[in-house]
């Protein structure tokens, strides 16, 4: 299962002397430019380390130069709103999520069934809906997969050691992993290697519904 695509970021602009003010319920009680700047530098550094990213990787994801990111993390530069927005995009976050203080919002993240932002793929043969938060870089990803009659979801090998877990809610599926295959019916589940070519194929005459979990090493 491929990871959600990132939206390409526009070119970097020259930073002005101050970070824009953030609402008090996002950045915390102290929303002075100095407090927001200090909070942003810690937030960017902490988020990057949690993901295990280098500055180069964040620069690639966000379109902001490595030198600018390094200055921001050291609180030596005050980025423009546009640059801050591109950093948020690089992390897969909104601007508010990047600037928020831990504990400022509920710890419960809800994904509504009608939230089209979580549709990873949607066509007559295959619909994939992301059930895990898009704003987090995860070791575990959770999907709802719907396959029309004859539809198939075929994937190239993932990172070495990656495994997938599939639970069939409705319909009949053939699971393929490398040279192995298994027929699955409603109520069946399976785990299999995903670091080889693998596929989920609807062999029934009606739509099949399954839940898929990717476990990355």
The model's pLDDT over 122-133, given as tens digits with 9 standing for 90+, comes to: 888 999 998 987
Angle of helix 66-73 versus helix 81-90 axis, rounded to 10: 100
Asked which of 99, 134, 163 is the last residue of a domain, the reply is 99
Under 8 Å between Cβ of 4 and 136: no
State the residue range of the domain holding 54.
24-99
pLDDT at 146 over 50: yes
Q: What is the mean pLDDT of the segment spanning 60-79?
A: 91
State how beta strands 208-215 and 163-170 pair.
Answer: antiparallel
Name the strand (E) or helix (H) holding 37.
helix 33-51
Domain end marker among 99, 124, 146: 99
Number of domains in the chain: 2
Do 86 and 150 lie in one domain? The reply is: no
CATH number at residue 51: 1.10.260.40
158, burial (CB in 10 Å: exposed 0-12, middle 13-18, buried 19+): buried
pLDDT band at 176 (very low <50, low <70, confident <90, very high): very high
89 lies in the same domain as 137: no
Return the sign of the alpha-carbon dihedral for residues 101, 55, 143, 141.
negative
- What percentage of the chain carries pLDDT values higher than 70? 79
Mean confidence (pLDDT) of the chain: 81
Give, in order, the Cα–Cα distances in Å from 102 to each of 42, 51, 53, 190. 12, 17, 20, 37
Asked whether residue 132 falls in the same domain as residue 203, the answer is yes
Indicate the pLDDT class of residue 139, thresholds 50, 70 and 90: confident
Contacts of 5 (CB under 8 A, 6+ apart): none
Q: Is the pTM of this model over 0.95?
A: no
């Amino acid at each position: 299962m491929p990871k959600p695509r990132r939206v390409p970021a526009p070119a970097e602009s020259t930073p002005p002397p101050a970070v824009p003010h953030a609402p008090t319920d996002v950045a915390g009680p102290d929303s002075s430019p100095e407090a927001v700047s200090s909070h942003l530098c810690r937030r960017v550094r902490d988020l990057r380390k949690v993901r295990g990213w280098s500055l180069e990787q964040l620069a690639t994801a966000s379109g902001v130069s490595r030198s600018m990111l390094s200055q921001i993390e050291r609180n030596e530069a005050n980025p423009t709103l546009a640059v801050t927005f591109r950093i948020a995009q690089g992390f897969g976050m909104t601007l508010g999520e990047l600037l928020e203080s831990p504990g400022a919002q509920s710890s419960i993240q809800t994904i509504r069934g009608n939230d089209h932002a979580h549709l990873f793929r949607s066509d007559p043969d295959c619909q994939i809906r992301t059930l895990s938060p898009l704003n987090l870089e995860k070791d575990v990803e959770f999907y709802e997969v719907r396959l029309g009659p004859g539809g198939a979801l075929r994937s190239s090998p993932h990172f070495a050691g990656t495994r997938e877990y599939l639970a069939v809610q409705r319909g009949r599926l053939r699971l393929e992993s490398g040279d192995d295959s298994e027929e699955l019916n409603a109520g069946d589940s399976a785990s299999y290697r995903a670091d080889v070519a693998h596929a989920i194929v609807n062999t029934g005459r009606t739509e099949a519904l399954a839940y898929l979990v990717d476990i990355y090493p």
